[in-house]
Amino acid sequence: MPEAPPPDVIRLDGLAKTYVTGDTAVHALRETDLSIQRGEFTAIMGPSGSGKSTMLNLLGLLDRPTAGHYYLDGSDVSRMDDNDLSDIRCRKVGFVFQSFNLFPHFTVFDNVCVPMRYAEMDADEMRERADRLLEMVGLTNRADHRPTQLSGGQCQRVAIARSLANDPALILADEPTGNLDEKTGQEILQLFRDLHAMGRTLLMVTHNPEYEKVVERVVRLHDGSVASDVRTGVETWRGRAVPPGTVPAAAVGGA
C-alpha cells in the first residue's frame, strides 16, 4: 500500500530571517512556527514592514533563512544548495505576481511553457499541458498573442496558467489583484476559488480585505511575528465561497 503524502505542504519550525547592515540587525522574520496543510487557501496579511514580503521570499525559495527549518512538501529545503533549490522551486512552487512578470517578447503559449522548459519536460507533453492550461483560464484564442496585446486581467490569467505548468505543490501569489480594476479583480479571485476547489494549496500575500471573504484562513503578521492565525469559517462549493454549513454533506471530501 503506497504511503499517504505528508499532510503539510508547508511547515516552518523556528524559521527566522535577520538582515545585518553595519552594526544594525533587522529582524524581518522572528522565530516562526507555521503549518499549511494540503489543499488550504490561506492569506498572509499585515501592515507594511510586518514581514509579509520576507515570508513570501522564504516560502518561494527566493531567499534563505537565518535560522530554523522550512519543510516544503515533506523535504527540508532550509539548507539545500543553490542547484537543488532551483530545481525544487521550479517543480514545487508556482508564482503569481502583482505585475504579472511575463516575458514581453514571448507569446502567451511560450510564457506558459517557460517553467516546463526549465524542468526539461517532453515537448509533446509540454504542448499538450500548455494547451490544457490555456483552455482552463479561457485564453485558447490568445495563445499566439504577446502580453502587450492583452488586458491586465488576461495577463494575470496567463501568469496563473504558468504557475500551474509543473503541477506544483504550492501556489504563491503576491497581491495578485493589486494592478486590476475591481471587476477584473473579482474575476481573478473567482479563478483562485476554482483552483482551491480543485484541491490546490494556495497562499496569498495581500492587503486586500476582499480575500478574507474567500480564504479559509488568515495569518496576520506584525513586526516580523505571527500576531494571529484565524480560521475564517469560509467554505466553498463548486469553487464559490458559501456560508458555513451549506456545502452538501455528500460533497465533503468528494468532487
- Cell numbers that stand for 172 in this block: 504563491
pTM of the model: 0.87
Q: How many domains does the chain have?
A: 1
How far is Cα 161 from Cα 111, in angstroms, rounded to an integer?
Answer: 9
Identify the CA nearest to 159 among candidates 127, 191, 194, 119: 191
Torsion angle (degrees, nearest 10) of CA 81, 84, 88, 89: 60
In a domain, 122, yes or no: yes
Query: 190 lies in which domain range?
Result: 41-66+82-245
Do the domain assignments include residue 114? yes
Domain assignment present for residue 164? The answer is yes
CA distance 159 to 76: 27
Q: What pLDDT does residue 237 have?
A: 45
Query: What's the confidence (pLDDT) of residue 208?
Result: 83
Can you say whether the dihedral through the CA atoms of 90, 93, 99, 100 is positive or negative? positive
Amino acid letter for position 176 = P
pLDDT at position 235 is: 57
Q: Give, as one character, the DSSP assignment of residue 6.
A: P
DSSP letter, residue 225? E
The pLDDT score that the predictor gives to residue 5 is 55
The span from the CA of 98 to the CA of 199, in Å, is 23
Give CA–CA dist 134/131, Å, rounded. 5
Cβ of 132: how many Cβ atoms within 10 Å? Answer: 12
Grid cell of 122 as nine digits: 517532453
Read off the CATH number of the domain in which 115 is found.
3.40.50.300
Query: Does residue 144 lie within any of the structural domains?
Result: yes
What pLDDT does residue 193 have?
Answer: 92
| pLDDT value of position 79 | 86
Phi and psi dihedrals of 149, rounded to 5?
A: -95, 5
Q: Is 252 part of a structural domain of the chain?
A: no
Q: Is residue 152 part of a domain?
A: yes
With respect to residue 11, please indicate whether it lies within any of the assigned structural domains. Answer: no
- Is 232 part of a structural domain of the chain? yes
- Cα(69)–Cα(16) distance, rounded to whole angstroms? 9
- What residues in the chain have per-residue pLDDT under 70? 1-6, 234-255
